[in-house]
A and B are shown apart, each in its own frame.
Chain A
Amino acid sequence: MITLQFVPYTEMEGLSQAKRLRKILSLVKEEKIVLMEGRLKSPDDADLIKEAMQEIDEKFKGIEIAEVNPEHGENTPFFAKVKGNFVNMLIGDRAGMTIIGPATVIKEIKKDPNKIQLFASDANGKKKRR
C-alpha cells in the first residue's frame, strides 16, 4: 500500500531550513510519498539531497524528487512567466508542487515541465505507473 501525505505551504513556511528538511525526511523515512505545496528553493533542494545521502543505510536507499512549476513551462507565454514571478515575489515559492518519496517505493519519476509520471514499485518489485 502506498501512503501519500499532503504538506501545505503554511505548514512549512514558519520552519527553519533544518526543521523543514527534517520534517520531509522523517515522512519519507516512514515510507510516505510527500506531496508538498510549493517548491523547494536553492539551497534547500541541494541540502535535502545532502541530508538524504548522509542517512542512507541498508534500509533507506535515498529519495526520488520532482517538482512541477506550471508558470515556467517550455511553452509558457512571456506575460504568464512575468505574472508567475510577480506572484512568487509576493507569496514565496508557493506555486507548483513538489513530490518527494523514498527510492524504495518510487522507482522513477518522469517529467516534462508540466506533467509528472510516477512509477511506484509493486510487491514484486516491478514498476507500476501512477
Chain B
Amino acid sequence: MISVFRRFVNKVFRDLFNRKGELKIGLYGPPNGGKTTLANRISQDWLGEDVGSVSNMAHETRAIQQKEEIHVKRGKKELTFNLVDTPGIATKIDYEDFVKSGMKVQEAKKRAKEATKGVVDAIKWLDEMDVVIVVLDASIDPFSQVNITIIGNLQARNIPVLLVANKVDLKKASVKKVQAAFPQYEVVGISAKMGKHMDKFYESLFAVAG
C-alpha cells in the first residue's frame, strides 16, 4: 500500500516537472540474461559508448548503472530516456560458486556481498522506473520464480513492460517458450550480443514507451 502511494506521489511530481529526457527505462531480469549486453548495444547504437562490463560469470553488474539522455530516432518518431541497467535479481548467492569459477576466496566473498546489495538496490529502484525492459535468456526455462516475481511486481505497480527473449543466436533458445510463460505480453526475440532483430526491438520499445 505504501509503495503504491509512494509511486503515485513520484508520478505526480514527475508529471509536474516533466522535461525531455527524464523518462527512466530500466533493464531488469535474472543474472546472466544479457541486461548489460543489451544496455551496451542500445548505448553503442545511439551514444557510441558502453554502459558497463560483461562477463560469463553471474553478478558481473553489482551496482545500478545509468546512461542519461539516450536519444532514439525511428523515422519521424523520437524517444529520449535515461537507461538504467540493474544488477540481476536472484534469490540465492553463494560465494563458493564464484570460487568454483576460479575466483580467490576473499575476492569471491566480496563479490557475493556486493551482489546481495545489488539485488536489494535493484528491487528498491523498481518504484523509480517509468518503463521496464525485462531481459530473459531464451535458452533457459522461463518458469522461474524470479521471472514471475519481477513481472508480477511490475504489473502490480502498473509499470509498462517490454519482454525481451535474449540470446536467440543460441541453438537451445525458444522465444515461443518465453511467450507461453507470459502470454499477457508480446515478446521480442533478439540477440543483444549479435545485434540481431534490434529493429524489431526498437519498434516495440516505441510501442511501449513512446
Contact = CB atoms under 8 A, between A and B. Distances in A.
A25 B90 CA distance: 16
Interface stretch (A2-10, A30-38, A64-72, A82-90): A64-72
Contact of A103 (B94, B141, B183): B94
Interface in B98-126: 112, 116-117, 119-120, 123-124, 126
Contacts, number: 74
B180 interface: yes
A112 B123 contact: no
A63 interface: yes
B172 to A, nearest CB: 16
Interface in B161-189: 180, 183
A56 B93 contact: yes
A103 B94 CA distance: 9
A67 B143 CA distance: 10
B143 A62 contact: no
A65 B3 contact: no
Contact of A43 (B3, B90, B95): B3
Interface string A9-38: 000000000000000000000000000000
Give the dominant DSSP class at B's interface.
helix
A50 interface: yes
A42 B149 contact: yes
Name the residue in B95, B119, B157 with the highest tally of chain A Cβ atoms < 10 Å from its Cβ: B119
Interface residues of B, number: 30
A113 B177 CA distance: 12
Contact of B145 (A43, A47, A65, A74): A65
A62 B141 contact: no
Interface string A93-130: 00000000001000001111100000000000000000
Contacts of B183: 74
A45 B155 CA distance: 13
- The list of the 8 closest CB pairs from A to B, nearest first, reads A62-B92, A103-B92, A42-B156, A53-B116, A61-B94, A42-B153, A45-B149, A42-B152
13 contacts: A41-B156, A42-B153, A45-B152, A47-B123, A49-B91, A49-B149, A53-B119, A53-B120, A54-B120, A61-B92, A61-B93, A65-B91, A65-B145
Interface of A: 41-43, 45-47, 49-50, 52-54, 56, 58, 61-67, 74, 103, 109-113
Interface of B: 3, 89-95, 112, 116-117, 119-120, 123-124, 126, 141, 143, 145-146, 148-150, 152-153, 155-157, 180, 183
